[in-house]
Structure 1
């Protein structure tokens, strides 16, 4: 048994070392280690102990630990999933019980890219962009910090897709299971047929147990001091643990998020940002118009975010040019015949509301560079799962299934009311789930909700929170009989407080 454990540890160590060598931070850390080896305090006769002491004194131990922490929960976990899939069957097959869902994911991505290609053809613009003419380039560069004053004709441009388009595709999914219900009178609740494992309330309560601790952190006088000490220690797991409290001091939230998401700035990050910015300056891309259009339709019309319009242009334009994103985002793989279509450099096709994933970060950072890297890390780890059809436990399909099961189990009256009205409950809350409540909750409460997402490393809090909001407005919902009326009741969430409602949801019988 011990030999097996040793072999497992050796195997994991080898994987971690190989993964570290592929990170951008490897080279600067390696150079620092080389300098430490030459340090007079490192004794060649006791190299191991003296070098370890030197590494600790220089603060490199913490940095290496943080790298390992982030690798284990991101890249290495994805590698393990792929290896397991290869062992179980090498390639996905039609006999896969979730094959229809994976196929739907591939087809959805293909449909989105096809729409973008069709728009390019219709407007007679190249998909891969074209060099900006000299006058336009100079104008763009001069107005880089005030792009809201940059003139651009957007009359013929429209969002490639909106949340309702993805919802319609999800509601039309046909699984292998067949229902015996009378479909003439009762609408189909397709998500109940999807064989994805989701947690019940007991399992959610165990996962979010820290939120139900009897000692409240609200009003603790030394909370700020605790936060300062944790940030001074620079340990990412400690920062993540602190976010679980749900009462992060606002001035320190940005630093905590950057630590948890491993998005602290390095010299090579600044150089890469400048490279992305130059790509925006020199190349005119159809995605630029879609970004401008989206910000003007959403953030610019939002009382909480319109002041950040110029920063959002910078961040999302650079995001569209970032080719590293495509290699970090997971997409479903399934053999589907038909033509494939290319996408933008980042691989992410802008949709209606994409800027609302970035907008809340404007409250955390003054610098667009800091904002960009933390937003990018958050998008890669969480947001992209909300806009693609996938089988991941944190994906939008799993979250929709979790929502329906929780609603049916803990709010049977509401569930029956929706069925009688022949309204899919998801139509009411899907825009919340897909945007992670951005643009729907006040920024101060949204940031608390996202604290919990980062702290517990889970998007499952989104359907749980959606359920408790419906419960909170249950009396009013039960008195109306149309989707428009229900949406009107739920339109204003300005009085909602995240932490007490989540705690209430978890403590239900």
Structure 2
């Protein structure tokens, strides 16, 4: 709980941030306009204006904006900016070193291929791109010379080599820490604490993703479905972000998921949002970046070859090309251990350098939003809240480092025989599971199951459930994995996750595992 001073400071910071927002100017304009209404009296001016803002829906919009601010990491003015990004010095140094390596790779590619990091497109090329904006998937540029700057396995090697210089591992009482690959001392939750944190997922609570497939009487199932649909409709109609987030913990109905997610993320669809998207689109048409080719390459290598997502190729290009130029994304670097790379075109900064599989963060959202600017707004909010943590080095509980450590600890504690067996044959479980976690399972689960998983990420405002699911997959396939004798056979056992049901796995692992 916040102390009185901390609470006052948080309130003051939120007021300061909202005061310069578009929402503030809209509310101010509405308040001035309502003064002309006959039922607004001078003697009760304050109460009448407040009542008008409440009945016209502006109070709810303000509440949602405040709720969004509360979801972002707190900002403490006395603390240096680098401490807000990452409190541990050795983590900051590791991230900086990794960034230099990635930038060096990008610059080397630019030099080798003779392709500038950024340049103005010729007029003819701008016109051509404008004409084929909605059909970019039909274009087949020569991408043979381009390669992904890095793959998840390269990033894993960096995480494995990370050490806290102030921590003497010989002092660690538990031998388990030497079994795994992650050797940094971070606090991660074990099953008893996870049960407490994720109590809504217990075996007796109704769950979207279980109840809708349960073998129960059709009348009972219909009643449950209608009740869930009714509640979700009320939440959407009330436009309450906090209620939508709480509701999402037990899964969202398919038909209302898009509205609920947009509400949780406070991803608005106002005229200024459309205008912002159009400005980004104009930037793509005017300037060509080297990372554009990396985006094309990644989409071709991943989503275009996926049975679920190949039809969204055009959407992926539109969203990712705009995203790479969006200065609004830079706001998250205040609490991200990473720093934004520069393209040196009129001071323009690239929001992110895509790695192999980056486009899979966007692909599942294409099932929910069929308008590019809506899709873009939701993806941007998902990225600056969650996905950036999956490819940056930090000590945050939802950071990829914590997820890796949590996954290893869960296996070591609750499946020690399996962990030991895999180690004996030279297989480290994390090397098999890392590719799932770094993508939040996108591209590995069937889309309906992936969206049920992401419901819980949004509902609990945490990526922790990704590590839990990775451990649950190993528990589910434990019998087969105990029979394997090589890395190749272990990979074969875990090759296809498309038939798995997410919620039963998580529920059984968390609430039916012997302590």
Q: TM-score, normalised by structure 1?
A: 0.90
Which residue does the alignment assign to 2:247? 242
Q: How far does residue 187 in structure 1 lie from its aligned partner after superposition?
A: 11
Shift of the 187–33 alpha-carbon distance from structure 1 to 2, 3 Å rule, reads closer
- Give, in whole Å, the separation in 1 of the partners of 2:145 and 2:373: 31
Greater mean deviation of Cα atoms: 300-309 or 170-179: 170-179
Paired residues of 1:109 and 1:388 also in contact (CA < 8 A) = no
Alignment map for 1:84-483 (pairs within 5 Å) = 85-86=79-80, 98-127=88-117, 129-176=118-165, 177-179=167-169, 189=179, 193-212=183-202, 214-217=204-207, 218=211, 219=221, 220=224, 221-246=226-251, 248-329=252-333, 330-332=335-337, 342=342, 345-483=349-487
- Give the SS at the match of 1:422: coil
Paired residues of 2:10 and 2:74 also in contact (CA < 8 A) = no
1:78 aligns with 2:74: yes
- Give the SS at the match of 1:78: coil
Q: How far does residue 281 in structure 1 lie from its aligned partner after superposition?
A: 0.8
Paired residues of 1:263 and 1:374 also in contact (CA < 8 A) = yes
Shift of the 179–207 alpha-carbon distance from structure 1 to 2, 3 Å rule, reads closer
Shift of the 110–423 alpha-carbon distance from structure 1 to 2, 3 Å rule, reads same
Which residue does the alignment assign to 2:215? none
The count of corresponding residues between Structure 1 and Structure 2 is 484
Q: How far does residue 116 in structure 1 lie from its aligned partner after superposition?
A: 1.2
- Give, in whole Å, the separation in 1 of the partners of 2:282 and 2:124: 15
C-alpha distance after superposition, 1:95-144 (max 9, x if no partner) = x99432221111112211221122112222222x1111122111111111
- Give the SS at the match of 2:417: helix
Which residue does the alignment assign to 1:14? 12
Paired residues of 2:162 and 2:183 also in contact (CA < 8 A) = no
Q: TM-score, normalised by structure 2?
A: 0.89
C-alpha distance after superposition, 1:232-273 (max 9, x if no partner) = 000001111111112x21111011000001112111111110
C-alpha distance after superposition, 1:317-349 (max 9, x if no partner) = 111111211222333279xxxxx9635733300
C-alpha distance after superposition, 1:162-206 (max 9, x if no partner) = 10110111112233345569xxxx995565531211111111111
Paired residues of 1:325 and 1:346 also in contact (CA < 8 A) = no
- Give, in whole Å, the separation in 2 of the partners of 1:208 and 1:91: 32
Shift of the 495–9 alpha-carbon distance from structure 1 to 2, 3 Å rule, reads closer
- Give the SS at the match of 2:116: coil
- Give the SS at the match of 2:186: coil
- Give, in whole Å, the separation in 1 of the partners of 2:70 and 2:356: 33
Greater mean deviation of Cα atoms: 250-259 or 150-159: 150-159
Gaps of 5+ in 2: 212-220
Shift of the 395–187 alpha-carbon distance from structure 1 to 2, 3 Å rule, reads closer
Gaps of 5+ in 1: 335-339
- Give, in whole Å, the separation in 2 of the partners of 1:206 and 1:486: 33
Shift of the 22–410 alpha-carbon distance from structure 1 to 2, 3 Å rule, reads farther
Which residue does the alignment assign to 1:337? none
- Give the SS at the match of 1:130: strand
C-alpha distance after superposition, 1:60-117 (max 9, x if no partner) = 111111011111121xx3314x74x44xxx876xxx9943222111111221122112
Which residue does the alignment assign to 1:25? 23
- Give, in whole Å, the separation in 2 of the partners of 1:98 and 1:359: 34
Q: How far does residue 32 in structure 1 lie from its aligned partner after superposition?
A: 1.8
Shift of the 39–484 alpha-carbon distance from structure 1 to 2, 3 Å rule, reads farther
- Give, in whole Å, the separation in 2 of the partners of 1:157 and 1:254: 35
- Give, in whole Å, the separation in 2 of the partners of 1:293 and 1:97: 35
